[in-house]
């Protein structure tokens, strides 16, 4: 396994028919940093995440994934990507254990009962709920399972698309804390969100998109007030 | 080997979900059974007429019930965006395609196993005169249906009008397969059975399956990536 330590995005362009979703976006993501990708709906954030996840093909531009200076491609890249989105990416008719066993099998990681139980303890999924099918879970429980799913594969590139949607305040703050732990563990974390409070003081890198263009980029930690000011002055 | 093992994992996941919910299987089997009942009332129970019509009835039931199952099996992958999770996994995307096709094939085979005896029971169709070749032709037909159907159902997953578009796109491509299935079944139940024709159409089905399997494997990844 080659953990990714750098992702270079160069002049990325994506069009859907005559609509331009991204117009020449360049960005560099590095290990141990959390990048907040901000912007209004339709700014191109989800498209950029889609391209980073290898599930959307760009029309122009290059994304290169690197590990110790070597380029990584194909399945080796996908092995390193973890995804957490508004949708749980979990099967409603399977239990928490069965969902995680499936992922462990597909990724070739330890899917033993003990390993899964430890992971579910870590994300705080109620022990009684683990043998119930996931469609009976509350939104918060489902998001904990989704987080367990993302953590199981020990990703070095974690892509998050509105992960705080539907979570209560405590749930959002707990998730924000987990993301901080991952970032401190050396992962590249990219988070697309409108919930600036949940990511305040955790981001090391802020990028703001407007109508498919990168209109602001800076590295550093940002308080909630500062993030809000930045967002309002650049995203509009 | 890894591709087959991962395909089996994807297929087992689908079957496990289906064994728990039984939603697709019951719907498909009920619909296929209903078609047979309608046929039983709509067609005269004249032996010649039944021999002529029963093969078409069998394959129409397989096609319609199969399409219902196909749509629902891929709809499940939309509910929590799980198709994205499957495509993101570090396994050859061929394994995802094969896994889905295998699980759909097994469901359609189960439906064929229900509606074939029902045709015999309700219409007195002599479908079990040569059970071996009949099983082979149904197997080949179902494989072809599942392979072609899985590619298009996966491609249309994000299209809003997929329920309407799926049969419209799928059926023209499946016409040769259903013609071959019907011709083989007809040759099998004719008196005496025309094994020369049976062998010809079985070869045709084999070639159809091989060609569409290669085409599907070749195009699946480029069709499912936006």
Closest chain A residue by Cα to residue B19: A93
* Share above pLDDT 90 across residues of chain A, in percent, rounded to a whole number: 22
Is the Cβ pair A55, B91 closer than 8 Å?
no
Furthest-apart CA atoms within chain A: distance in Å: 51
Give phi and psi for A30, each to the nearest 5.
Answer: -125, 160
| Band of pLDDT at residue A75, cut at 50, 70 and 90 | confident
Q: What is the mean pLDDT of residues B63-82?
A: 88
- Per residue in B119-161, pLDDT (tens digit) is 999 888 888 889 999 999 999 999 999 999 999 988 888 777 8
Parent domain of B153: 2-224
Mean pLDDT of chain B: 90
Least confident of A174-178, B63-67, B91-95: A174-178
- State the Cα–Cα distance between residues B186 and B126, nearest whole angstrom: 10
Residues forming a β-bridge with A81:
A157
Q: How far is B73 from chain A (nearest CA, A)?
A: 12
Residues of A with CB under 8 A from a CB of B: 50, 53-57, 75-76, 78-79, 81, 83, 85, 87-94, 98, 102-103, 105-108, 133, 149
Question: For A126-180, how does the pLDDT look when each residue is reduced to its tens digit (9 = 90+)?
Answer: 788 888 998 998 888 888 888 889 888 889 999 998 888 777 777 777 777 788 8
Query: Encoding tokens for residue B117?
Result: 């005896």
Query: A55 vs B225: CB contact, 8 Å cut-off?
Result: yes
Backbone phi, psi, residue A140, to 5°: -65, -40
**Predicted pLDDT of residue B60:** 93
Whole-number pLDDT of residue A150: 87
For position B209, what pLDDT does the model report? 94
- Yes or no, beta carbons of A55 and B87 under 8 Å apart: yes
Range of A17-21, A141-145, B178-182 with top mean pLDDT: B178-182
Region B81-109: mean pLDDT is 91
pLDDT at B52: 86
Looking at CA atoms only, how far is residue B110 from chain A in angstroms? 21
Q: Residue A176: helix, strand or coil by DSSP?
A: helix
**Beta carbons of A151 and A135 less than 8 angstroms apart:** no
Residue with tokens 């690197």: A66
Select from B20, B91, B92 the Cβ nearest to the Cβ of A93.
Answer: B20
Of B17, B81, B92, which is closest to A93 when you measure between CB atoms? B17
Residues A93, B91: C-beta atoms closer than 8 Å: no
Looking at residue B154, its pLDDT comes to 87
Q: What is the pLDDT of residue B16?
A: 92
b/e map A77-95, b = 16+ CB within 10 Å: bbbbbbbbbbbbbbbbbbb
**β-strands A6-16, A19-30 pairing:** antiparallel
Strands A60-67 and A70-72 turn out to be antiparallel
User: Which residue matches tokens 């979570």?
Assistant: A167
d(CA B22, CA B29): 11
Give chain B positions within 8 Å (CB) of A87: 80-81, 84
Residue B1 predicted with pLDDT over 60? no
- pLDDT-based confidence at residue B103 (cuts at 50, 70, 90): very high
**Mean pLDDT for the stretch of residues B170-175:** 92
What ipTM was predicted for this assembly? Answer: 0.84
**How many residues are recorded in chain A?**
236
Query: What's the gap between Cα A80 and its chain centre?
Result: 12
Task: Give me the domains of chain A, ranges plus CATH numbers.
Answer: 6-234 (3.40.50.300)
CA distance A181 to A154: 12
Report the pLDDT value the prediction gives residue A1, as an integer from 0 to 100: 62
SS3 A37: strand
Q: How many domains does chain B have?
A: 1
* A92: closest chain B residue by CA: B80
CA distance A212 to A225: 25
Distance between start and end Cα atoms, chain B: 28
Going by pLDDT thresholds of 50, 70 and 90, the confidence category of residue B105 is very high
Assign B14 a pLDDT band (cuts: 50, 70, 90).
Answer: very high
Q: Which tokens is A169 given?
A: 């305040």
| Alpha helices per DSSP H over A53-163 | 74-80, 96-107, 113-123, 139-152
Average pLDDT over residues A96-103: 93
Residue B79's pLDDT band (cuts 50, 70, 90): confident
Asked if the model's pLDDT at residue A120 lies above 60, the reply is: yes
- Separation CA A126–CA B88 (nearest Å): 27
Cβ contact, residue pair B85, A56, below 8 Å: no
Q: Copy the structure tokens of residue B226.
A: 């936006």
Chain B residues with CB under 8 Å of A58 CB are none
Return the minimum-mean-pLDDT range out of A89-98, A108-117, A164-173, A183-192: A164-173
Hey, is B211 helix, strand or coil? helix
| φ and ψ at residue B176, rounded to 5 degrees | -60, -40
- Edge to edge, the sheet with strand A157-161 lists A81-85, A157-161, A188-192, A34-38, A205-210, A213-219
Q: What are phi and psi of A2, to 5 degrees?
A: -110, 100
Residue A61 or residue B44, greater confidence: A61
Chain A contacts of B78, Cβ < 8 Å?
Answer: none
Question: Which of A33, A45, A131 has its CA nearest to residue A86?
Answer: A45
């Amino acid at each position: 396994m080659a953990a990714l330590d750098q992702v270079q995005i160069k002049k990325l362009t994506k069009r859907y028919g005559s609509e331009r979703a991204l117009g020449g976006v360049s960005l560099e993501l590095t290990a141990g940093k959390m990048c907040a990708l901000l912007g209004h709906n339709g700014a191109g954030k989800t498209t950029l995440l889609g391209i980073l996840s290898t599930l959307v093909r760009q029309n122009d531009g290059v994304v290169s994934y690197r590990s110790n200076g070597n380029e990584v491609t194909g399945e080796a890249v996908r092995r390193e990507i973890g995804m957490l989105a508004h949708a749980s990416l979990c099967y409603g008719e399977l239990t928490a254990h069965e969902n995680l066993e499936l992922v462990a099998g597909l990724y070739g990681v330890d899917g033993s009962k003990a390993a899964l139980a430890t992971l579910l303890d870590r994300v705080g999924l109620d022990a009684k709920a683990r043998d119930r099918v996931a469609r009976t879970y509350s939104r918060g429980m489902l998001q904990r399972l989704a987080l367990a799913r993302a953590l199981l594969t020990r990703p070095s590139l974690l892509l998050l698309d509105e992960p705080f949607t539907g979570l209560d305040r405590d749930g959002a703050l707990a998730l924000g804390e987990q993301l901080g732990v991952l970032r401190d563990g050396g992962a590249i974390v990219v988070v697309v969100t409108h919930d600036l409070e949940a990511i305040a003081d955790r981001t090391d890198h802020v990028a703001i998109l407007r109508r498919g263009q990168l209109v602001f980029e800076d590295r550093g930690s940002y308080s909630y007030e500062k993030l809000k000011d930045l967002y309002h002055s650049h995203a509009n | 080997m890894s591709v087959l093992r991962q395909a089996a994992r994807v297929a087992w996941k689908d079957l496990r979900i289906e064994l728990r919910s039984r939603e697709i299987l019951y719907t498909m089997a009920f619909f296929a059974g209903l078609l047979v009942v309608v046929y039983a009332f709509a067609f005269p129970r004249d032996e010649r007429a039944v021999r002529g019509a029963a093969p078409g009835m069998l394959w129409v039931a397989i096609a319609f019930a199969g399409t219902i199952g196909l749509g629902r099996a891929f709809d499940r992958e939309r509910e929590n965006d799980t198709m994205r999770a499957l495509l993101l996994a570090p396994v050859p995307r061929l394994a995802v395609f094969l896994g889905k096709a295998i699980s759909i094939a097994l469901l359609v085979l189960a439906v064929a196993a229900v509606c074939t005896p029902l045709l015999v029971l309700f219409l007195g169709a002599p479908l079990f005169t040569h059970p071996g070749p009949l099983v082979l032709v149904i197997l080949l037909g179902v494989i072809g249906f599942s392979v072609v159907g899985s590619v298009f159902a996966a491609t249309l997953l994000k299209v809003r009008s997929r329920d309407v578009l799926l049969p419209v796109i799928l059926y023209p491509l499946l016409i040769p397969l259903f013609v071959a299935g019907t011709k083989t079944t007809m040759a099998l139940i004719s008196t005496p059975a025309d094994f020369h024709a049976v062998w010809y159409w079985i070869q045709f089905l084999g070639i159809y399956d091989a060609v569409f399997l290669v085409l599907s494997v070749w195009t699946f990844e480029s069709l499912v990536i936006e």
